[in-house]
Amino acid sequence: MRELRRVFVNRIWLGVAAALLVCGLALYVQQQQAQLGCSVSDYAKYNNQWCHTLAQQSWEEGLEALSWEQTAQLGWAVARFYAQLEESGAHSDQEMLAHYRETYPDFDQQLQAVREGTDPQDDGAAYTAATRWLERLTYLSGYGEKVEGVVAQAQLIQSNPFFSTPGTFTYRNADKTRADYQSAAEVKLEPTRDDVLVSLMENRTALVFALCLMGVTVVLLLEPRRLGLEDVERSCARGRTVVALWRAGALALSAVVATVLFQGGVLAAGVALYRQPIALDAPVQSISLLQSWAAPTSVGGFLVWYFAMTAAGLWAAGLLLWLVLSRLRSLPLGLVLCGGVLLVEYHWFDSYQVNDALYPLASLNLFHLLYPASTAGRYLNYNWLGYPVRERVVMAAVLAGLVAICMALALLSAHVAKGGARYSPLSRVVERLMQRLHQRARPRLLWVYEARKLLLYSGGVLFLAAAAFLLWKLEAPPSQQGMAEALLTEYVQSYQGPLNQDTRAVISQESERADQAYAQALEAEVDGMTLEYYAARRWALDTLEQRYTQLLEMEQAGAEGLALVDEQPYERIFGDTGEGLRTQGAVVVLLGLCLLVPGCFALESRCGMGLSLWSTPRGRGRLWRSKALLALALTVLLWLAWTGRELSLFAQLGGRWEMVRDISGQSLFFWNEGLGSLPLWVYMAVFYALRLLGLISACGVVLAVSARLPALLPAAGVSSAVLLLPALLAQLGADLLGVVSWVGWLAGSGLEGTGPKTACGILWLVMGAVALALSQHLWRRYRA
Amino acid sequence: MKLTIRDVTKTYGSTRALSQFTYEFGPGIYGILGANGAGKSTLFGLLTDTLRRESGEILWNDTDILRLGRKYRAQLGYMPQFQGYYPQMTAQEFLCYMGELKGLPRKTLRQEAQRLLKEVDLQDVAHRRLGQFSGGMRQRALLAQAMLGDPHLLILDEPTAGVDPQERIRIRSLIAKVARERIVLLATHIVSDVECISHQVLLLNRGHLLGAGTPEALIASVQDKAAQRVCSPEEMEAYQRQYGFGSVFQRQEGQVLRLVGDDLPPEFEPVDTGLSLEEVYLYYCAGGKAR
């Protein structure tokens, strides 16, 4: 019992659990917002309204009402688009207007309302709600057919001469598939709000955070070894088997608590966010994500299975981690190795799909066991000695087996005498190797020793690798363009480059041809989609021609360095569209600093080296300078990784370096009210230089905090609170500390250099200098 | 060379850890004896300038150590009480690292480290990590780092704590060997260490310097302050309750209780020979003098 108290009433465990829970919920809220593309609250309102409406209608009536609503919402969008065209001076296109009137019955009223400004203010929530319900009802209507299709397919397979031999796996598999689907064919499906459940199953952050908490539990279980109490424990009557059983129990409890906290937390947050209860009695097939469940199960039953599998997976992972780390002599090295392996496994799990050649790397993977959603979402039978066995049964058996094996090994390990490893053949080889290396070893510079201490002894290389991995995983935000804007971008990409009259003439000709094509399409009465395309093409070329003309006029008026530039890469990396990308990068880098830099001082405290170091001539000034320079160098490394990733994404999106070098900022005049006449590379250089200044300032703050709090976790916690809490609050909707948000300022707001940004840069410079001076003072100060 | 401490005081809150400490050290080994909380580590913290001095002076060759700063610390070798080391570093690496911090030239640092490792008999395990060393080996490695740079002032706080008798003797012999033309301050609870090698012994109790002198002089000062008797366990308990803590010896005739103090039971026989610094310690530091 005391073992449980030692772990769960430990402030480190409690602090980490609380911090991860808050971060997890904040990320969940942000993810829901990003996925919906509109306000979650508005979406929930429309979603719930539809739920009540559809409950009183048949499915056919519901489908019709939803289609009508979707059309009406599209009508609003088109009306707004048309009104924008009118405002921008485009000529009134009667043919297009007639087409819209035909497609959207209330188009005239909608257009009038938009012109008068009385149209409903909606960011797409109503459309999204209608579309999702339409998808749900379409799925529900077609479920019966799907089941019939599966049954027919099974019969077809069995009738094939190659597979018609009873007793073979294929024959049995067809039988089982048919039986399974038929068992669920009689369930009465209901239109169900599935947003909460789907968001739970798609949420991988909760899984990662739960695994982190298990890691903390394992480290606390190994605390007696770190304190030198292991031998005392093992010499006691109950210090082996009983203690091992209690520790295994602590891991089980931790797995359950982590599941309840993170998965349950997401579930509760989802219910609150979407304002919808979970229909526990509804059959699980009511949710399209679970259409392949193929068993008569309720949603409540499914949730029990889901939570139980997650907890079992976490328990197995915890036991495995405990076993591995308890056998390795060095805990920091063990954590680095295990962390590296888990990172690689997660990458494989995330990257390889069923159709990939390297899919076995994703399926024979710890995360496959930890993430039951992938199993729940598909129907798959494994061949076990010629008999088909459901994948989820196999997963459960594998988990049970893994837990049993790990428990047995843990109990066995508790009785195995230590110390033999030193005399094993491997250790003798290592000994000889060490002797050889030692003979070549030379004294190093101070900063080299400091780098080894920080990166190897304190595990800093793991944090660097994790940060690099997360930065590498950053993806540019998707393009938010409609068809017309996408065509415009395509044409800009074709014609981008220095300005000349010949190109303008070509564009004019192309525009005229587009006009003619549109007129011909109207006469030929082609279908709506094709007509939309021709209209969009015409609009795009018209807009391009206007833009090109404007640029030429500016050039003739004396502006230099102008060109037609594809602005999409700039917008998606440096503009408003790219704000999410930059924010994620800022969070990753700042978190990396908060975990990496405190190691500079934490190791001295942990190893009790403080007094020895301060009594030496260089142990105050020069040693601090080595640590500070190392921290700053690593900050620059993180900045390079972040910048490199953004610039690589910029290049992937079509950004051209010769244009960045030669073209002036005024060429981006359609984006963010334009820049000045300096070359684009100057604005980018200033943007990144300011960011580097901010990171250096942040590094100074972390150095100051960790000089004051020499233990790693408190220093990392306080640093994270200072640097990341304002952004976290903003994500949760309470933007109280936005003005002091490092994340906000690092993410920046475009390439233009404005007063606030300059002031911010100066402030960072001053803060960084003050923080570094404070750090030096705290390191050199008297201890009493 | 000399180290002068004049009226140095250090207080932690309401506790006076060191009170008006005054002494002058010349070349030689000085054993500093005292109970836990006597002020030994505080004294060393002030000498290494890791604790803030409240009042008084600490002079190295007549110059305040605060003025000398790094120049003073360059002549200092310090082995703290708490075994501070990096378990992942080999012994050689650790010495090279500390040598770098002490400002030793890199060209000669490797040879210097090897020489010292040979001096402390660790040359065969120089390639092994400190985490793999036994307690005694670690103490020797830490002693070697304190001796890096041939410091004129060597401060050793409990250098033989937690090591077996053979290791203790080895470390003691090493200290005696390197103490020529050097000031060595040795704080310890182990009286026999001090008795064997110290030129002078300082007795500290609750921040006060109670006495100082050669081991022989100090032993002579308690010549008529010790008495002993064969006692039963009950008698032993009763005598110690009344007269204070004493030492117990196992002899053929039974268990002998030896008491040290100004006030002794009349039935006890005075002890003239075979006294050691242990009796001195009991008399000065364990309250014997107060009685």
pLDDT tens readout for residues A614-635: 999 999 999 999 999 999 999 9
Angle at A738 between CA A732 and CA A744, to 5 degrees: 95
What CATH number is given for B1-75+152-213 in this structure?
3.40.50.300
Task: List phi, psi (to 5°) of A388.
Answer: -80, 135
Chain B environment of A618 (Cβ under 8 Å): 70, 100-103
Six-digit token pair at A310? 């997650």
Q: Which residue of A432, A437, A457, A611 is the best one to mutate when testing the B interface, meaning the one whose CB has the most B CBs within 10 A?
A: A611
Query: What is the mean predicted confidence (pLDDT) over A205-227?
Result: 89
Whether A347 is covered by a domain: the verdict is yes
Determine whether the interchain pair A623/B12 forms a contact, defined as Cβ–Cβ distance below 8 Å.
no
Same domain, A277 and A131: no
Taking contacts as CB-CB distances below 8 angstroms, the residues of chain B near A617 are 70-71, 73-74, 101-103
Q: Is B80 on the interface with A (CB under 8 A)?
A: yes
Q: Are residues A380 and A317 in the same domain?
A: yes
- Mean per-residue pLDDT for A33-61? 86
Question: Based on the domain organization, do A392 and A541 belong to the same domain?
Answer: no
Most confident range (mean pLDDT) of A133-137, A164-168, A341-345, A664-668 is: A133-137
Mean of all residue pLDDT scores within chain B: 89
Does the CB of B19 have a partner CB in chain A at under 8 Å?
A: no
CB-based contact A612 B145, cutoff 8 Å? yes
Let me know if residue A222 belongs to a domain: yes
Domain annotation covers residue A468: no
Residues of chain B with CATH 3.40.50.300: 1-75+152-213
How much is the average pLDDT of A196-216? Answer: 91
Closest by Cβ to A616, choosing from B51, B96, B102:
B102
Interchain contact, A607 vs B87, CB within 8 Å: yes
Residues 445-474 of A with CB under 8 A from B: 445-446, 449, 453, 456-457
Please state the rounded mean pLDDT for residues B128-151.
91
Amino acid at A672: N
Evaluate if residue B23 carries a pLDDT over 90.
Answer: yes
Please give the full DSSP string across chain B, using - where no structure is assigned.
Answer: --EEEEEEEEEETTEEEEEEEEEEE-SEEEEEEE-TTSSHHHHHHHHTT-S---EEEEEETTEEHHHHTHHHHTTEEEE-SS----TTSBHHHHHHHHHHHTT--HHHHHHHHHHHHHHTT-GGGTTSBGGGS-HHHHHHHHHHHHTTT--SEEEEESTTTT--HHHHHHHHHHHHHHTTTSEEEEEES-HHHHHHH-SEEEEEETTEEEEEE-HHHHHHHTTTSEEEEE--HHHHHHHHHHH---EEEEETTEEEEEEESSS--TTSEE--SS--HHHHHHHHTSSTTT-
The mean-pLDDT minimum among A173-187, A221-235, A629-643 falls in A221-235
Using one digit for the tens of pLDDT, what is the confidence trace for A300-309? 999 999 999 9
> What is the SS3 assignment for A234?
helix
Closest-CA distance of chain A to residue B239, Å: 36
B84 close contact with A: CB closer than 8 A: yes
A-chain CB neighbours of B79 within 8 Å are 612
From residue A101, give the alpha-carbon distance in Å to each of A75, A106, A526: 9, 7, 16
Chain A residues lying within 8 Å of B85, measured CB to CB = 607-609
| In the predicted structure, residue A530 carries a pLDDT above the cut 90 | no
- Amino acid identity for residue A314 in this structure: L
Question: What DSSP designation does A422 have?
Answer: G
B72: closest chain A residue by CA = A617
Q: In terms of domains, do A160 and A52 share one?
A: yes
Q: Nearest CB to A616: which of B83, B84, B101? A: B101
Please check whether residue A533 lies inside any domain of the structure.
Answer: yes
Residue B290: the pLDDT is 52
What is the ipTM score, two decimals?
0.88
Q: Are residues A219 and A74 in the same domain?
A: no
> Which residues of chain A have a CB within 8 Å of the CB of B84?
607-612
Q: Give percent of chain A with pLDDT exceeding 70.
A: 94
Task: Look at residue A92 in the predicted model and tell me its pLDDT.
Answer: 62
Q: Are A662 and A679 in contact (CB under 8 A)?
A: yes
Pair type for strands B208-213 and B247-251: unpaired
A607 touches B at CB < 8 Å: yes
φ and ψ of A329, to 5 deg: -70, -40
For B127, the closest of A438, A449, A618 (CB atoms) is A438
What is the residue-wise DSSP string for A627-663? Answer: HHHHHHHHHHHHHHHHHHHHHHHHHHTT--HHHHHH-
Q: What's the pLDDT band for A257 if we cut at 50, 70, 90?
A: very high
Among the listed residues A73, A24, A16, the one whose alpha carbon sits nearest the alpha carbon of residue A46: A73
* Chain B contact present for A440, CB below 8 A: no
Distance from CA of A449 to the nearest CA of B (A): 7
Q: B37 CA to chain A: closest CA distance, Å? A: 15
| pLDDT band per the 50, 70, 90 thresholds, residue A670 | low
Partner-chain contact B96 A444, CB within 8 Å: yes
pLDDT tens for each residue of B224-242:
888 888 988 888 888 888 8
Average pLDDT, chain A: 86
Cα dihedral sign, B248-B251-B256-B258? negative
pLDDT digits over A681-718, tens only?
A: 988 998 999 899 999 999 999 999 999 998 888 899 89
Q: Of the candidates B45, B78, B96, which has its C-beta nearest A443's C-beta?
A: B96
Q: How confident is the model at residue A265 (pLDDT cuts 50, 70, 90)?
A: very high
Q: In Å, how far is A460's CA from the nearest CA of chain B?
A: 15
Instruction: Report chain B residues whose CB lies below 8 A from the CB of A439.
Output: 127
* pLDDT tens string B77-108: 999 988 899 998 999 999 999 999 999 998 89
Alpha-carbon distance A334 to nearest alpha carbon in chain B (angstroms): 13
Cβ-based contacts of A433 with chain B (< 8 Å): none
Q: Do A215 and A132 fall into the same domain?
A: no
- Best of B41, B66, B97 to disrupt the A interface (most A CBs within 10 Å) is B97
- B66 to chain A, any CB pair closer than 8 A? The answer is no
**pLDDT higher than 60, residue B275:** yes
- Percent of chain B beyond pLDDT 70? 98
The pLDDT of B204-220, averaged and rounded, is 89
Residue A26 in domain:
no
A737 with A729: CB under 8 angstroms?
yes
Is A675 in the same domain as A763?
yes
CB distance A443–B80 less than 8 Å? Answer: no
| pLDDT given for residue A506 in this prediction | 93
Inter-chain CB proximity A443 and B100 less than 8 Å: yes
CA distance B51 to chain A (A): 5
State how far residue A615 is from chain B, nearest Cα, in angstroms: 6
- Is the CB of B145 inside 8 Å of chain A's CB atoms? yes
| H helical segments located in A294-330 | 299-327
Lowest mean pLDDT among A463-467, A525-529, A759-763, B5-9: A525-529
Beta carbons of A608 and B128 less than 8 Å apart: no
Q: Residue A674 above 80 pLDDT? A: no
Quote the minimal CA–CA distance from B289 to chain A in Å.
32
Of A179-188, A505-514, B149-158, the range with the lowest mean pLDDT is A179-188
Asked if residue A698 and residue A731 are part of one domain, the reply reads yes
Residues of chain B positioned with their CB less than 8 A from the CB of A612: 78-80, 84, 98, 145
**Number of structural domains in chain A:** 4
Query: Who among B52, B97, B99 is closest to A782 (CB)?
Result: B52
List CB contacts (< 8 A) between B50 and chain A. 611, 614-615, 782-783
Nearest to A784 among B52, B92, B96 (CB): B52
Amino acid identity of residue A448, one-letter, is V
CB of B94 less than 8 A from some CB of A: no
List, for residues A341-366, the tens digit of each pLDDT value. 888 888 888 877 777 777 777 667 88
Q: Is residue A631 part of a domain?
A: yes
- Interface contact flag, A607 B86, Cβ < 8 Å: yes
Closest chain A residue to the Cα of B143, Cα to Cα: A612
Interchain CB contacts (distance < 8 Å): A and B: 106
- The residue among A356 and A277 whose pLDDT is bigger is A277
**Residue B291: predicted pLDDT:** 44
Please report whether residue A22 resides in a domain: no
Asked whether residue A703 is domain-assigned, the answer is yes
Which of B70, B82, B131 minimises the CB distance to A617? B70
Report pLDDT for B27: 92
- Gap from B52 CA to chain A (nearest CA, Å): 6
Task: Specify the pTM.
Answer: 0.76
Same domain, yes or no: A556 and A434:
no
Closest CA to A594 of A634, A629, A624, A625: A634
> In the listed set A506, A533, A564, which residue is the last one of a domain according to the structure?
A564
Q: Are residues A368 and A512 in the same domain?
A: no
pLDDT digits (tens, 9 = 90+) for A392-413: 998 899 899 999 998 888 888 8
* Out of B80, B106, B132, closest to residue A611 by CB: B80
Query: What residues make up the domain containing A545?
Result: 497-564
pLDDT of residue A98: 79
CA dist A738 and A730 (Å) reads 7
- Could you tell me which chain B residue has the CA closest to the CA of A437? B127
Element (H, E) at A388: strand A387-390
Assigned token pair, A440: 């070549």
Phi, psi (5° rounding) for residue B260? -130, 130
Q: Which residues fall within 8 angstroms of residue A766, CB to CB, at 6 or more apart?
A: none
Closest approach of A434 to chain B, Cα-based (Å): 6
